[in-house]
Chain A
Amino acid sequence: MSAIYYIIVFGLLIVFGATVIAALTWAMRRGQFSNLDRSAATIFDAEEPPGMPTDRFPPPRSPRRRDREAGR
């Protein structure tokens, strides 16, 4: 019974090791590592471009404090 488990475990070991090599080869062939500057910018787009922060504290609820912060 336990022999089956060992076959599973060592089989998986080889499969997973091979997958890492396959993934790295795939990435190299597809040019994933060329033109790194453009790749780094893929998370930005025209609506959320570089130079534009996308998070801030919610504005205060009282209108007076909101005006004061906006006037800064």
Chain B
Amino acid sequence: MTAAPREDDAARRARLRRLIDRSCRVPCLALFAASVVWLIIGTLLAVLASFKLHEPGFLAEVAPLTFGRVRPAHLNVVVYGWASTAGLGVLLWMVCRLSRAPLRWPGVVLAAAGLWNAGVLLGTGAILAGHGQSIEWIEFPPAAAMLLFAGFALTAIWAAMTFAVRRERHVYVSQWYLLGAIFWFPWLFAVAYLLLGLAPVGGVTEAAVNWWYGHNVLGVWFTPVGLAAIYYLLPKVIGRPVYSYHLSLLGFWTLALFYNWAGMHHLIGGPVPAWLVTVSIVASMMMFIPVTTVAINHHMTMKGHFYMLRWSPVLRFVVFGGMCYTLVSVQGSLLSLRVINEPFHFSHNTVGHAHLGMYGFFTMTMFGAMYYIIPRLTGREWASAGLIRIHFWCVGLGLLLMVVALTLGGKIQGLEMNQAQAPLAQYVGEHGLIDGVRTFFAEMEARSGQVEFLEIVRGTMPWLQLRTLSGMLIFVGHIAFAVLVAINLAGRGSVRPGPTLLGRNPLHPQEVRA
């Protein structure tokens, strides 16, 4: 142990932390409240879209609720409405805390949050009204995108200004990730909308820009914010510094170097230059370096502290998120290999992979972060431990069910769809020229014409029904979370004891802080 610090120093630090939390209060709580509303809407759209895949006649006459609109509406609502809005709140609070500087003029960020949410509302309305762009992840029309860009840019500038007046000299690893995220996302977003919305480049290049964006929005926006939260909350909650700080920094810089090259592996088998895809596959393999650093740090920091998962709701969600990050990244790198990609591409497997990343990793981490941050902003304890447990188990089991069902079902579907017919030459060799050609075409008509394909589609039904079930389970969990947040924001529930929530330290039960 180092020498006991002076009492007034501790008091000064605590006062500063209280000041920082109070400065973030209004904009962060507004962002969190909006994100939870979008989460509920997004989950409803998800369950509806999933239901339509095995009951295609359901609500088929209502144009705004047809699958072609509900599905992109779900994606954009959860990505821009829920995940990004929650991410912005977590980012702002963490930047302030890590800079040890209060947020100045929080009203500006509140206005930025308004712009961002207006963009999501306008974009979602446009998609449901049939005015979405038919480009995955970029379905919002450019008008909505401009609102999003303005809102994000304003928030990013404010975060950067807080960093500029920081009192903490060291830039903590989470801060690097956050600075990267606020710097990279506006660039990515602007370039994608320039080349796909305002001045479309056309042809195959559009697909390349599309997946450069679609992949990087995960890699240089959601991943950095999620990892920043894990690298801050895990040590803070268990009270132990990161296992290897050296590895954590290596992880950040290698992520910055490699991730943005990897997008073209989404176009394996597509009509793009092969070298472009190959470069991305190499970069995807290089991603093993940052992923391994996070996995090692995550596990070794937690080692010996896993019993604390019983005590801390934050830790449960964040550790779940960290484990899913390792899983989804390894899976993603392997899926980028051509030979592995072949059966999985264009199957439901991809959907399972996407949810393991955006839900298992990012959303779970954001839940954990919000469980930590919101009581510190409102000064109120969470109303019910039971509801937190319901939330955790419903979404955790729901997600596992979904990923297992889609991964298995998708693999079967992919393998079946790759059952190509024997080549024509083989038929000619076996049956002679005329009979061979005739049999070849007869079988081709029988197999791929209708019968076989429909059988494959029917075979996916049980898996899709399981997915709907998992979606309902997750929805129940989200309702529990929304109720908790609503109670807390309404000012109900017990007042938190002091600024740094510590009812009782499970390691030292005799130590009670008032």
Binding site for B on A (CB under 8 A): 1-2, 5, 8-9, 12, 16, 19-20, 23-24, 27, 32-33, 36-61, 70, 72
Contact of A39 among B172, B190, B384, B504 (CB under 8 A): B172
Contact between chains at A55 and B13 (CB < 8 Å)? no
Contact between chains at B313 and A55 (CB < 8 Å)? yes
Cα distance, A27 to B493, chains bound together (Å): 44
The verdict on B337 contacting chain A, using a C-beta distance below 8 Å, is no
Contact between chains at A58 and B10 (CB < 8 Å)? no
Cα distance, A3 to B320, chains bound together (Å): 47
Q: Known interface pairs A51-B240, A56-B312. Does A24 touch B245 (Cβ–Cβ under 8 Å)?
A: no
Q: Known interface pairs A9-B194, A47-B500. Does A16 touch B172 (Cβ–Cβ under 8 Å)?
A: no
Contact between chains at B172 and A50 (CB < 8 Å)? no
Stretch at the interface among B27-35, B229-237, B262-270: B229-237
A and B contact pairs by CB, cutoff 8 A, 8 listed? A16-B184, A23-B179, A44-B241, A53-B238, A55-B237, A56-B502, A57-B313, A58-B381
Q: Which residues of A contact B242 (CB under 8 A)?
A: 40
Q: A23-B179, A56-B501 known; 16 other A-B pairs, CB under 8 Å?
A: A2-B199, A5-B199, A8-B194, A20-B256, A43-B98, A45-B10, A47-B17, A51-B239, A51-B507, A52-B239, A52-B507, A53-B238, A53-B239, A54-B500, A55-B372, A56-B311
Contact of B385 among A5, A19, A57 (CB under 8 A): A57
Q: Which residues of A contact B191 (CB under 8 A)?
A: 9, 12
The verdict on B346 contacting chain A, using a C-beta distance below 8 Å, is no
Cα distance, A16 to B188, chains bound together (Å): 11
Contact of B195 among A5, A40, A41 (CB under 8 A): A5
Shortest CB-to-CB span from B30 to chain A, Å, is 23
Interface mask (B359-381 → A, CB under 8 Å = 1, otherwise 0)? 00000000000011000000001
Contact between chains at A43 and B236 (CB < 8 Å)? yes
Cα distance, A33 to B314, chains bound together (Å): 29
Q: Known interface pairs A39-B170, A52-B239, A55-B372. Does A47 touch B13 (Cβ–Cβ under 8 Å)?
A: yes
Contact between chains at B239 and A54 (CB < 8 Å)? yes
Q: Which residues of B contact A43 (CB under 8 A)?
A: 98, 172, 232, 235-236, 241
Cα distance, A47 to B90, chains bound together (Å): 22
Shortest CB-to-CB span from A13 to chain B, Å, is 8
The A interface is mostly helix, strand or loop, or mixed, namely loop
Interface residues of B in 365-403 (CB under 8 A from A): 371-372, 381-385, 388
Contact between chains at A57 and B500 (CB < 8 Å)? no
Cα distance, A59 to B10, chains bound together (Å): 26
Minimal Cβ-Cβ distance residue in B for A12: B187
Q: Which residues of B contact A53 (CB under 8 A)?
A: 237-239, 308, 311-312, 502, 505-507
Shortest CB-to-CB span from A27 to chain B, Å, is 7
The verdict on B161 contacting chain A, using a C-beta distance below 8 Å, is no
Query: What is the number of residues of chain B that contact chain A, defined by CB distance less than 8 Å?
Result: 62
Cα distance, A55 to B500, chains bound together (Å): 9
Instruction: Pick from A19, A20, A46 the residue with the most CB of B within 10 Å.
Output: A46
Cα distance, A5 to B193, chains bound together (Å): 11
Contact between chains at A58 and B311 (CB < 8 Å)? no
Q: Which residues of B contact A8 (CB under 8 A)?
A: 194
Shortest CB-to-CB span from B55 to chain A, Å, is 39
Cα distance, A45 to B14, chains bound together (Å): 9
Contact between chains at A46 and B9 (CB < 8 Å)? yes
Contact between chains at B170 and A50 (CB < 8 Å)? no
Q: Which residues of A contact B443 (CB under 8 A)?
A: none
The verdict on B249 contacting chain A, using a C-beta distance below 8 Å, is yes
Q: Which residues of A contact B506 (CB under 8 A)?
A: 53, 56
Minimal Cβ-Cβ distance residue in B for A60: B385
Cα distance, A39 to B175, chains bound together (Å): 12
Cα distance, A59 to B372, chains bound together (Å): 15
Minimal Cβ-Cβ distance residue in B for A15: B187
Minimal Cβ-Cβ distance residue in B for A51: B239
Contact between chains at A42 and B172 (CB < 8 Å)? yes
Minimal Cβ-Cβ distance residue in A for B242: A40
Q: Known interface pairs A54-B237, A72-B509. Does A40 touch B312 (Cβ–Cβ under 8 Å)?
A: no
Cα distance, A39 to B246, chains bound together (Å): 10
Interface residues of B in 149-177 (CB under 8 A from A): 168, 170-172
Shortest CB-to-CB span from A43 to chain B, Å, is 6
Contact between chains at B245 and A40 (CB < 8 Å)? yes
Q: Known interface pairs A32-B170, A41-B241, A44-B241. Does A54 touch B236 (Cβ–Cβ under 8 Å)?
A: yes
Minimal Cβ-Cβ distance residue in A for B493: A58
Interface mask (B176-198 → A, CB under 8 Å = 1, otherwise 0)? 00010001100100110011001
Q: Which residues of A contact B5 (CB under 8 A)?
A: 46
Interface residues of B in 45-96 (CB under 8 A from A): none
Shortest CB-to-CB span from B152 to chain A, Å, is 16
For the complex of A and B, the 3 pairs showing the least CB-CB separation, nearest first, are A46-B10, A40-B245, A46-B5
Shortest CB-to-CB span from A67 to chain B, Å, is 12
Instruction: Pick from B240, B381, B388 the residue with the most CB of A within 10 Å.
Output: B240
Cα distance, A35 to B256, chains bound together (Å): 23
Contact between chains at A52 and B187 (CB < 8 Å)? no
Contact between chains at A5 and B198 (CB < 8 Å)? yes
Q: Which residues of B contact A72 (CB under 8 A)?
A: 509
Shortest CB-to-CB span from A63 to chain B, Å, is 12
Q: Which residues of A contact B168 (CB under 8 A)?
A: 42
Q: Which residues of A contact B171 (CB under 8 A)?
A: 27, 32
